[in-house]
Amino acid sequence: MILDLNDPELEFADLVYAYQSWVIAVINDEKLDTKDKLLTEEITEDALNASRFLPGEVSSAIETTLARVYEVDPEELANILFPED
């Protein structure tokens, strides 16, 4: 799914889905013992575009919830998602 930020049909849920997909892909690729890699440039680009329009509280809630679901330490997840910070 490539986000078209000019699409009048684009909904808040689409932004959440894009960001959530990125977090899941990063967790899968970095923390889970799987051979199949999920992270693509498209997923990353959509997440970066979505994050510009998502309130920080929403992004944080997505990260925290997925960290719990996948049993990843929230601080470790933050370091994986944003290694340059």
33-61 pLDDT, tens digit each:
888 899 999 999 999 999 999 999 999 99
Residue 70 clears pLDDT 70, i.e. is over it: yes
Which residues constitute the domain of residue 50?
Answer: 18-81
Query: CA–CA distance from 83 to each of 13, 20, 43, 65, 67 (Å)?
Result: 26, 18, 17, 20, 16
Identify whether 2 is part of a domain: no
Q: In whole angstroms, how large is the CA radius of gyration of the chain?
A: 13
Identify whether 31 is part of a domain: yes
pTM score: 0.90
d(CA 81, CA 53): 18
Number of domains in the chain: 1
The per-residue pLDDT for 85 is: 60
**pLDDT per residue as tens digits for the range 5-36:** 889 999 999 999 999 999 999 999 998 888 88
54, 65, 45, 57: which is closest to 15 by C-alpha? 54
